């Protein structure tokens, strides 16, 4: 009992710290134009591959672009697109999950079997195959990532809806004549939130990692847009002379993914939600 | 038992058919026109007539069903068409590059198993020990580190700084070490976590207590009973992760300029080399299905509950 | 050594404490009892009253890091408390055998019954595999288990709970232990199997003169089987008596309450359930 309490306090601490880091990161994405010392895409070949200086705190890349500015703007791209993927997948999952769970019957069967089929395919393989067939590009990558993600949300939401549908207070609400929408808003949706918070945080890390992987392969974000994975791709040729070019963006990816994973795990412990 | 194996093998056929159907459908829905892609790759400014003739040559003017059946028949004969880029049969291109990829994936799978089985097992039976903390740290980092970056870190420290291993390419066993460790890293993280959790769960089971009351040595209880029981979920995880291994291989091959099939596939995506893309997707599906089959058979060997009917004897 | 008070198993002043960060917490205290040769001692009490803690103390199977045990436990005048694990291993399964509550979970699912039977014999005797198998078959025959040869080839999940419990008893009796501890041996079984199991224990007691510590919350079982009874509550013994005395003339308030709440119909058993 005591140990459990201590454990909870520990996870509480992790939640606070990682939330602060993410908040800071969020600030960076908002204020990148003011924080960045230079234009992230301005090419200046006279200043190429410079070591850190006052003008360029982290040096410059092979086209003379400010590494720090590119990293700051990169946060925008990574977090922004991860957010986009999360929100789209969540919305699709929410709608389909609620429809499947609430309607039941053949609608439910059809939607869930389709979801099972999608889930059987390894997710990254699906994305890469999707991009392969539909052509390289950011749009395809994001669409692919959304397509493999929504199923998980839909399943969780459907499961919750199903279990809650059976519970007494829903019955009571139905008997007392509340409308379907009121029941959902008041009873079902608040109960699904903790699960979704956990999944969402873990999936944010997942999306950032995979988006940068795709960009690294050249399939996702295209130059000159500053994206961390793409920056590593550009910086890899200078690994002997300027290792910083690939070190910093990778470090950023790792910090962000670690933070999201830590937060997700702490949240799942806190709310007793099982990870998938 | 024999019938179980046979049944399991037969289930693969319809799933593979669905996979071919989906791939075929996706390619047809795709905005990429194979004929246009063909000429674009060959850097030929194609006229409408030439496009029309190519479409006819590819059989694209035939009804979809006939196209699908034709594709299917060809696949059964390992005929995946001719690559637009090299003008060689795709199957030839694949078989020349496959050994490198297989070498890489098998190598990393071996490393992953050799590291994660002892690590996860020891971490599980000695919870909160130094080994346990190390395993949890490693699982966490392994799940959070982008593998392409890890690959470059390895290159930077071990090849550039310490000059222990070659930077890229293939040939000796030394070439294999860094790429397979890179590819193995996320797997080590995953399997260690799975096995640790499974061991912890099994330690709570009453068969452990019963074994203790019979006077067995703790080493025997752990090494024989618990390990045999706990390894099962890890093997399932192994099967589900072969797909990730394939995508991981694509990335690692790109980092280390490994002349495997994954890199060839990425090139094909850029070149819109449709036959190669189709072949890769189908091959990946096949590998995924077959590896899952193998895992199931291993599972069956390890866990007698799967293949035998329960409660035959009252 | 021909004294009347010669106990095979003798427990004196047993105290068991669990150490937590918040201090010590008593599990059982002032436990005193002894079992003579061929005697069945019933140990009664609600769940959480310290029955299992007591039996684990006899087998010295507590986690020595967190649990502190004081007092004396002797088997044939040999002190067990504080005995090295290496020595204790020779006693467990050989001199003191243990029968588990739920036979469906007790065997390791991935090994055959025969494998586990032979493994137990080999842990305590120098017999080779073939001789151990023969011994197992002999013992199983002697306790009237049907088709022992065939039975040994089965996996635990292929047998019913009652059959498994009888195999477990055969395993316990196999090496002719001085004491058998049976922890709720009938709780998980259907009525017919309960009867078979109890008869089997009785048979072993009569034929080998084995002393049995029979732990149960079922007063019906106790009244049928036990010679003496001890009643436990909140980690303490509240009453020790001859079985007839106890049922005719209970002294302690708690015992009276236990007897009153005793279901009058034999059918109010836990339903027969099993899990794989």
Largest Cα separation within chain C, whole Å, is 55
Collect all residues of chain A within an 8 Å Cβ-Cβ radius of residue C25. none
Q: Are C96 and C58 in contact (CB under 8 A)?
A: yes
Strand partners, C213: C41, C181
B202 class by beta-carbon count within 10 Å (0-12 exposed, 13-18 middle, 19+ buried) = buried
The span from the CA of B112 to the CA of B192, in Å, is 9
Q: Is there a contact between C105 and B212 if contact means CB atoms under 8 Å apart? A: no
Sorting pLDDT into bands at 50, 70 and 90, what band is A29? confident
For residue C151, the chain B residue with the least C-alpha distance is B313
Residue whose C-alpha is closest to residue B90's, from B209, B268, B287: B268
Start-to-end CA span in chain B (Å): 21
HSE of B166, CA atoms in CB hemisphere, 13 A? 12
Residues 6+ apart with CB under 8 A from C219: C44, C247, C258, C259, C262
For residue B226, the chain C residue with the least C-alpha distance is C108
pLDDT tens track for A53-96? 777 787 887 777 888 888 888 888 888 999 999 999 999 998 99
Q: Are A260 and A197 in contact (CB under 8 A)?
A: no
The overall average pLDDT reported for chain C is 86
Q: What is the pLDDT of residue B209?
A: 93
Q: Is there a contact between B214 and C109 if contact means CB atoms under 8 Å apart? A: no
Collect all residues of chain B within an 8 Å Cβ-Cβ radius of residue C215. none
Per the listing, tokens 């890199």 go with B263
Q: Are B314 and C160 in contact (CB under 8 A)?
A: yes
Q: For chain C, state the CA radius of gyration.
A: 19
pLDDT at A220 over 90: no
The two three-digit tokens of residue A27, written as one number: 């600030």
Phi/psi at B293 (nearest 5 deg)? -65, -45
For residue C121, the chain B residue with the least C-alpha distance is B214
CA B146-B147-B152 angle, to 5 degrees, is 105
What letter does residue C249 receive in the DSSP assignment? S
pLDDT at C3 over 80: no
Sorting pLDDT into bands at 50, 70 and 90, what band is A188? low
**Mind telling me how many Å the CA of B127 is from chain C's nearest CA?**
13
Residues 6+ apart with CB under 8 A from A250: A228, A232, B146, B149, B152, B153
Q: Are C177 and C96 in contact (CB under 8 A)?
A: yes
pLDDT at C4 over 80: no
pLDDT at C80 over 70: yes
Residues 6+ apart with CB under 8 A from A106: none
Largest Cα separation within chain A, whole Å, is 76
Q: Is there a contact between B209 and C171 if contact means CB atoms under 8 Å apart? A: no
Q: Which residues of C touch B (CB under 8 A)?
A: 59, 61, 85, 89-94, 97-98, 100-102, 105-112, 119-120, 123-124, 150-151, 154-155, 157-160, 163, 171, 276
Q: What is the pLDDT of residue C229?
A: 92
Higher pLDDT, A144 or B311: A144
Q: What is the pLDDT of residue C91?
A: 92
Q: Is there a contact between B213 and C98 if contact means CB atoms under 8 Å apart? A: yes
pLDDT at C99 over 90: yes
Lowest pLDDT segment from B304-313, C207-216, C256-265? B304-313
Q: What is the pLDDT of residue A170?
A: 64
Q: What is the pLDDT of residue C22?
A: 78
Phi/psi at C212 (nearest 5 deg)? -125, 130
The span from the CA of B280 to the CA of B269, in Å, is 10
The span from the CA of C266 to the CA of C219, in Å, is 11
CA dihedral C195, C200, C201, C203 (to 10 degrees): 130
Q: Is there a contact between C89 and B225 if contact means CB atoms under 8 Å apart? A: no
Q: What is the pLDDT of residue C271?
A: 45
B63 class by beta-carbon count within 10 Å (0-12 exposed, 13-18 middle, 19+ buried) = exposed
HSE of C249, CA atoms in CB hemisphere, 13 A? 3
pLDDT tens track for C222-248? 888 999 999 998 889 988 988 888 888
Pairing mode, if any, of strands C179-183 and C96-99? Answer: parallel
B128: contact with C, CB 8 A cutoff: no
CB pairs under 8 A between A and C: 4
A2: contact with C, CB 8 A cutoff: yes
Residue whose C-alpha is closest to residue C191's, from C159, C154, C220: C220
The two three-digit tokens of residue A131, written as one number: 């991009």
Q: Is there a contact between A254 and B23 if contact means CB atoms under 8 Å apart? A: no
The span from the CA of B256 to the CA of B156, in Å, is 12
Q: What is the pLDDT of residue B247?
A: 86
The span from the CA of C120 to the CA of B211, in Å, is 9
B243: contact with A, CB 8 A cutoff: yes
* Distance set, CA C233 to CA C9, C28, C185, C237, C242 (Å): 22, 9, 20, 6, 18
The three-state (H, E, C) secondary structure of chain B, written as one string? CHHHHHHHHHHHHHHHHHHHHHHHHHHHHCCCCHHHHHHHHCCCCCCHHHHHHHHHHHCCCCCHHHHHHHHHHHHHCCCCCECCCCCCEHHHHHHHHHHHHHHHHHHHHHHHHHHHHHHHHHHHHCCCCHHHHHHHHHHHHHHHCCHHHHHHHHHHHHHHHCCCCCCCCCCCHHHHHHHHHHHHHHHHHHHHHHHHHHHHHHHCCHHHHHHHHCCCCHHHHHHHHHHHHHHHHHHHHHHHCHHHHHHHHHHHHHHCCCCCHHHHHHHHHHHCCHHHHHHHHHHHHHHHHHHHHHHHHHHHHHCHHHHCCCCCEC
Which of 11-40 (C) contact A at CB < 8 A?
20-22
| Secondary structure element (H or E) that encloses residue C213, with its range | strand C211-216
Q: Is there a contact between B149 and A250 if contact means CB atoms under 8 Å apart? A: yes
Length of chain A: 276
pLDDT tens track for A7-17? 666 778 888 89
Q: What is the pLDDT of residue C275?
A: 36
| Secondary structure element (H or E) that encloses residue C150, with its range | helix C148-153
The two three-digit tokens of residue B244, written as one number: 């990730």
pLDDT at C274 over 50: no
Start-to-end CA span in chain A (Å): 26
Strand partners, C236: C233
Looking at chain A, which subunits does it touch, using at least 3 CB pairs closer than 8 Å as the criterion? B, C
Q: Are C239 and C249 in contact (CB under 8 A)?
A: no
Nearest beta carbon to residue C110 from set B215, B216, B229: B229
The overall average pLDDT reported for chain A is 83
User: Highest mean pLDDT: which of A122-126, B250-254, B271-275, C22-26?
Assistant: B250-254
pLDDT tens over chain B, length 314 residues: 677 778 888 888 888 888 888 888 888 887 777 788 888 777 788 788 888 888 888 777 788 888 888 888 888 888 888 888 888 898 988 889 989 999 999 999 999 999 999 999 999 999 888 899 999 899 888 888 999 999 999 988 888 888 787 777 777 777 888 999 999 999 999 999 999 999 999 999 999 999 999 999 999 999 999 999 999 888 888 877 887 888 899 999 999 888 888 888 988 888 888 888 888 888 888 888 888 888 888 888 888 777 665 445 54
Q: Is there a contact between A254 and B149 if contact means CB atoms under 8 Å apart? A: yes
CA dihedral A82, A85, A90, A91 (to 10 degrees): 130
Residues 6+ apart with CB under 8 A from B96: none
Collect all residues of chain A within an 8 Å Cβ-Cβ radius of residue B143. 261
**Mind telling me how many Å the CA of B156 is from chain A's nearest CA?**
7
pLDDT tens track for C135-179? 999 999 888 888 899 999 999 999 988 899 999 999 999 889 999
The span from the CA of A132 to the CA of B266, in Å, is 8
C248 class by beta-carbon count within 10 Å (0-12 exposed, 13-18 middle, 19+ buried) = exposed
Q: What is the pLDDT of residue A28?
A: 84
- What is the percent of chain C where pLDDT is above 70? 92
Selected for mutation to probe chain B from C108, C168, C172, C189 (highest B CB count within 10 Å) is C108
B140: contact with A, CB 8 A cutoff: yes
The span from the CA of C113 to the CA of B127, in Å, is 30
Q: Is there a contact between B311 and C157 if contact means CB atoms under 8 Å apart? A: yes
The two three-digit tokens of residue C15, written as one number: 């105290």
For residue C21, the chain A residue with the least C-alpha distance is A2
**Mind telling me how many Å the CA of A13 is from chain C's nearest CA?**
21
Collect all residues of chain C within an 8 Å Cβ-Cβ radius of residue B225. 108, 111
Q: Is there a contact between C105 and B214 if contact means CB atoms under 8 Å apart? A: no
B293 preceded by cis ω (within 30°)?
Answer: no
ipTM score for this prediction: 0.88
Cα dihedral B247, B253, B258, B262 sign: positive
The span from the CA of C117 to the CA of C155, in Å, is 12
Nearest beta carbon to residue C107 from set B207, B304, B314: B207
A238 class by beta-carbon count within 10 Å (0-12 exposed, 13-18 middle, 19+ buried) = middle
The span from the CA of C214 to the CA of A55, in Å, is 83
CB pairs under 8 A between A and B: 114
Strand order through the sheet with C23-35: C23-35, C9-20, C67-75, C78-79
């Amino acid at each position: 009992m005591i140990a459990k309490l201590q454990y909870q306090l520990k996870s509480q601490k992790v939640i606070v710290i990682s939330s602060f880091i993410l908040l800071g990161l969020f600030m960076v994405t908002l204020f990148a134009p003011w924080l960045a010392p230079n234009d992230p895409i301005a090419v200046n070949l006279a200043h190429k591959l410079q070591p850190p200086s006052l003008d360029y705190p982290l040096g410059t890349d092979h086209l003379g672009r400010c590494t720090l500015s590119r990293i700051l703007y990169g946060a925008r791209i990574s977090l922004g697109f991860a957010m986009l993927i999360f929100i789209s997948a969540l919305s699709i999952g929410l709608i389909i999950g609620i429809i499947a769970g609430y309607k039941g019957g053949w609608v439910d069967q059809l939607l869930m079997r389709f979801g099972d089929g999608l889930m059987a395919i390894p997710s990254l393989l699906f994305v890469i195959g999707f991009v392969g067939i539909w052509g390289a590009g950011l749009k395809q990558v994001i669409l692919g990532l959304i397509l493999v993600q929504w199923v998980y949300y839909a399943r969780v939401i459907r499961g919750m809806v199903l279990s809650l549908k059976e519970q007494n207070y829903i019955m009571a609400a139905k008997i007392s004549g509340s409308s379907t929408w009121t029941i959902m808003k008041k009873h079902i949706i608040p109960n699904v939130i903790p699960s979704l918070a956990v999944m969402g945080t873990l999936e944010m890390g997942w999306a950032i990692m995979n988006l940068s992987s795709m960009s690294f392969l050249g399939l996702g974000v295209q130059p000159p847009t500053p994206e961390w994975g793409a920056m590593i791709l550009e910086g890899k040729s200078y690994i002997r002379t300027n290792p910083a070019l690939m070190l910093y963006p990778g470090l950023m990816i790792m910090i962000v993914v670690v933070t999201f994973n830590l937060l997700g795990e702490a949240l799942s412990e806190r709310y007793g939600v099982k990870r998938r | 038992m024999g019938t179980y194996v046979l049944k399991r093998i037969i289930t693969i056929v319809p799933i593979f058919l669905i996979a071919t159907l989906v791939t075929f459908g996706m390619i047809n829905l795709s905005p990429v026109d194979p004929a246009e892609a063909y000429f674009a790759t060959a850097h030929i400014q194609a006229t409408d007539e030439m496009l029309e003739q190519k479409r006819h040559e590819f059989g694209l003017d035939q009804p979809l069903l006939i196209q699908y059946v034709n594709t299917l028949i060809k696949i059964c004969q390992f005929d995946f068409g001719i690559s637009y880029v090299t003008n060689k049969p795709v199957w030839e291109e694949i078989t020349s590059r496959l050994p490198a990829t297989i070498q890489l994936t098998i190598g990393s799978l071996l490393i992953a198993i050799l590291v994660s089985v002892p690590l996860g097992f020891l971490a599980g039976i000695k919870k909160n020990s130094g080994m346990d903390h190390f395993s949890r740290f490693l699982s966490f980092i392994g799940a959070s580190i982008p593998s392409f970056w890890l690959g470059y870190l390895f290159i930077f420290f071990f090849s550039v700084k310490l000059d222990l291993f070659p930077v890229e390419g293939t040939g000796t066993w030394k070439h294999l070490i860094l790429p397979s460790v890179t590819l193995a890293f996320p797997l080590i993280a995953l399997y260690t976590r799975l096995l640790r959790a499974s061991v912890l769960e099994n330690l709570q089971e009453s068969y452990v207590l019963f074994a203790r009351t019979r006077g067995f040595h703790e080493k025997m209880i752990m090494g024989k009973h618990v390990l045999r029981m706990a390894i099962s979920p890890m093997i399932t995880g192994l099967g589900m992760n072969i797909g990730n291994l394939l995508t991981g291989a694509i990335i690692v091959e790109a980092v280390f300029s490994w002349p495997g099939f994954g890199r060839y596939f990425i090139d094909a995506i850029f070149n819109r080399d449709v036959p190669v893309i189709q072949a890769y997707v189908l091959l990946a599906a096949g590998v995924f299905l077959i590896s899952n089959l193998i895992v199931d058979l291993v599972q069956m060997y390890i866990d007698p509950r799967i293949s035998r009917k329960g409660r035959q004897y009252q | 050594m021909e004294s009347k008070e010669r106990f095979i198993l003798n427990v004196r002043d047993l105290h068991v404490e669990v150490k937590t960060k918040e201090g010590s917490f008593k599990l059982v205290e002032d436990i005193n009892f002894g079992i003579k040769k061929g005697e069945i001692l019933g140990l009664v009490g609600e769940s959480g009253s310290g029955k299992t803690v007591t039996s684990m103390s006899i087998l010295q199977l507590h986690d020595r890091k967190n649990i502190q045990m004081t007092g004396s436990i002797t088997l044939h005048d040999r002190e067990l408390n504080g005995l090295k694990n290496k020595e204790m291993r020779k006693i467990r399964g050989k001199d003191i055998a243990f029968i588990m509550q739920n036979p469906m979970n007790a065997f390791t699912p991935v090994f055959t019954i025969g494998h586990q039977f032979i493994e137990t014999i080999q842990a305590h005797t120098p017999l080779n595999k073939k001789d151990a198998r023969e011994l197992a078959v002999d013992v199983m025959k002697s306790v009237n288990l049907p088709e022992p040869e065939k039975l040994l080839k089965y996996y635990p999940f292929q047998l019913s709970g009652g059959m498994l419990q009888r195999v477990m008893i055969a395993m316990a009796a196999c090496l002719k232990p001085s004491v058998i501890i049976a922890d709720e041996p009938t709780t998980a079984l259907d009525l017919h199997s309960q009867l078979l199991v109890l008869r089997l224990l009785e048979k072993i007691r009569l034929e080998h003169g084995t002393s049995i510590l029979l732990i149960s919350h079922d007063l019906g079982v106790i009244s049928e089987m036990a010679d003496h009874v001890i009643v436990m509550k909140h980690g303490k013994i509240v009453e020790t008596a001859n079985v007839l005395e106890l049922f005719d003339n209970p002294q302690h308030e708690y015992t009276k309450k236990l007897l009153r709440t005793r279901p009058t119909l034999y059918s109010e058993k836990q339903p027969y359930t099993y899990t794989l």
